[in-house]
């Protein structure tokens, strides 16, 4: 029997602060239950007759495919809509598109630039809207990350996550809040220019304090990662910021995750893992990195036994499924 909190019914996810700490942790537990159910070969009907619109302004491998398969596994349908396909934001306002799609679909997952667009979709569609990444936040990613930590270490207790890289991007913002809500210590290692936004940091610090953990920001990565159990990084240049590539490479080269940095945790041979939301630059063969050799993580770390990045990416599917099921499933039909 699957269990989840009734309060999640009909809920949108704009950012992790949209949910209580208990709701966020409950969703992670539901994802673990759904993962086990799928492992046993069960394809259910929890989303039968439910249809989800996937509006994508930016590229995606994991979020798009996780969403399509999550809903298909449970008997529902998903439609992938990109900007050139629909009138969204060009010939038709976001508000009008929201009202149109809300009468057709049971839910909308949005990936795009502006957080405000995501919020407008939620305000006017009348159906749950899930943020599949904006410039500001990437909440569904962090549900998968926390599930991966919990599976690997057996619990989220007594754990320190050190994020190394662009400290104010969407993943870093959501990871900081996710750790705070889960009672996980969070360390951000980033150059001064990329320190977390003050308001985002203050909001997460208040939650962390309530849960008995702290958040620390360092510009020296070797000092920052000392004692960390999870080293986490992301690309140095997020989608939409391509014009900043040269500047970011210059700033972030000293923040590469390599075996030296893994050793600086002091936890080699102990409780230690590497995570990355992916896609990752970890070898010199990609079109983007071949001239600069700028990699946020070395192959040695990426391919090491510490790397759980493919468990993490698989968990995107189970956690997105949990989000859809908890918001849309009519329990009477289970």
Q: Which residues 6+ apart lie within 8 Å of 202 measured at CB?
A: none
Q: Is 248 a catalytic residue?
A: no
CA angle at 306 for the pair 305 and 312, rounded to the nearest 5° = 105
Q: Which residues 6+ apart lie within 8 Å of 280 measured at CB?
A: 233, 235, 296, 297, 302, 309
Q: Which one of the listed residues 138, 185, 248, 318 is annotated catalytic?
A: 138
Q: Which one of the listed residues 145, 234, 276, 282 is annotated catalytic?
A: 234
Q: Is 87 a catalytic residue?
A: no
φ/ψ region of 66 (left if φ > 0, alpha if ψ in -120 to 50, else beta) reads: alpha
Cβ nearer to ligand NVA, comparing 277 with 301:
277
Instruction: Measure CA 171 to chain center.
Output: 6
CA angle at 56 for the pair 53 and 60, rounded to the nearest 5° = 115
Cβ nearer to ligand CP, comparing 125 with 319:
319
**Largest distance between two CA atoms of the chain:** 58
**What is the secondary structure of 218-259 as a DSSP string?**
ES-HHHHTTT-SEEEE--SS-TT-GGGHHHHHHHHGGG-B-H
Cβ nearer to ligand CP, comparing 4 with 130:
130
- Shortest reach from residue 62's CB to ligand NVA, in Å: 7
Q: Which residues bind ligand CP (CB under 6 A)?
A: 60-63, 133, 141, 277-279
The CB density around residue 43, as the number of other CB atoms within 10 Å, is 10
Cβ nearer to ligand CP, comparing 175 with 213:
175
Q: Is 138 a catalytic residue?
A: yes
SS3 324: helix
61 binds, among ligand NVA, ligand CP, none (CB under 5 to 8 A by kind): ligand CP
Cβ nearer to ligand NVA, comparing 47 with 317:
317
Half-sphere exposure (CA, 13 Å, Cβ side) for 114?
A: 7
The pair of structure tokens assigned to 60 is 């995606």
The CB density around residue 216, as the number of other CB atoms within 10 Å, is 13
175 binds, among ligand NVA, ligand CP, none (CB under 5 to 8 A by kind): none
If one asks whether residue 115 binds ligand NVA (CB under 6 A), the answer comes out as no
Q: Is 277 a catalytic residue?
A: yes
If one asks whether residue 239 binds ligand NVA (CB under 6 A), the answer comes out as yes
SS3 323: helix
The pair of structure tokens assigned to 103 is 């009468």
152-171 residues near ligand NVA, rule: CB under 6 A? 169-171
Cβ nearer to ligand CP, comparing 175 with 188:
175
- Shortest reach from residue 64's CB to ligand NVA, in Å: 11
233 binds, among ligand CP, ligand NVA, none (CB under 5 to 8 A by kind): none
- Cα separation, 174 vs 136, in Å, equals 8
- Shortest reach from residue 331's CB to ligand NVA, in Å: 32
Q: Is 189 a catalytic residue?
A: no
The residues with which 189 forms a beta bridge, in sequence order, are 164, 218
- Shortest reach from residue 219's CB to ligand CP, in Å: 26
Q: Is 33 a catalytic residue?
A: no
The residues with which 275 forms a beta bridge, in sequence order, are 232
Q: How many residues does the chain have?
A: 334
CB–CB of 322/44 below 8 Å? no
If one asks whether residue 296 binds ligand NVA (CB under 6 A), the answer comes out as no
- Shortest reach from residue 289's CB to ligand CP, in Å: 17
Q: Which one of the listed residues 37, 38, 62, 316 is annotated catalytic?
A: 316
170 binds, among ligand NVA, ligand CP, none (CB under 5 to 8 A by kind): ligand NVA
- Shortest reach from residue 56's CB to ligand CP, in Å: 9
- List active site positions: 111, 138, 141, 234, 277, 316
- Residues forming contacts to ligand NVA in the complex (CB under 6 A) are 133, 169-171, 234-235, 238-239, 277
């Amino acid at each position: 029997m699957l269990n989840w909190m009734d309060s999640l019914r009909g809920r949108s996810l704009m950012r992790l602060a949209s949910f209580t700490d208990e709701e966020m942790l409950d969703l992670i537990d539901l994802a673990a239950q759904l993962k086990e159910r799928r492992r046993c070969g069960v394809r259910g009907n929890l989303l039968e007759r439910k249809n989800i619109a996937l509006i994508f302004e930016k590229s995606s491998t994991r979020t798009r495919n996780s969403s399509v398969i999550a809903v298909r596994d449970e008997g529902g349908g998903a439609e992938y809509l990109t900007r050139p396909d629909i009138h969204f934001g060009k010939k038709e306002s976001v508000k009008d598109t929201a009202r149109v799609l809300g009468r057709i679909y049971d839910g909308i997952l949005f990936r795009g630039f502006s957080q405000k667009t995501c919020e407008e979709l939620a305000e006017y569609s009348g159906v749950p809207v899930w943020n599949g990444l904006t410039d500001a936040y990437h909440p569904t990613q962090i549900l998968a990350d926390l599930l991966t930590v919990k599976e690997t270490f057996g619990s989220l207790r007594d754990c320190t996550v050190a994020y190394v890289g662009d400290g104010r991007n969407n993943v870093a913002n959501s990871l900081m809040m996710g750790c705070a809500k889960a009672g996980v210590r969070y360390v951000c290692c980033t150059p001064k220019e990329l320190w977390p936004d003050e308001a985002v940091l203050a909001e997460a610090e208040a939650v962390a304090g309530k849960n008995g953990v702290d958040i620390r920001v360092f510009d020296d990565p070797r000092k920052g990662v000392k004692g960390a159990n999870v080293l986490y990084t992301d690309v140095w240049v997020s989608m939409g910021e391509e014009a900043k590539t040269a500047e970011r490479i210059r700033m972030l080269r000293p923040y590469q995750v390599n075996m030296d940095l893994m050793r600086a945790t002091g936890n080699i041979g102990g409780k230690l893992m590497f995570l990355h939301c992916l896609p990752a630059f970890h070898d010199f063969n990609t079109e983007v990195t071949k001239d600069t050799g700028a990699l946020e993580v070395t192959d040695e770390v990426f391919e090491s036994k510490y790397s759980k990045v493919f468990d993490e990416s698989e968990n995107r599917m189970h956690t997105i499924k949990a989000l859809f099921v908890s918001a849309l499933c009519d329990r009477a039909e289970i």
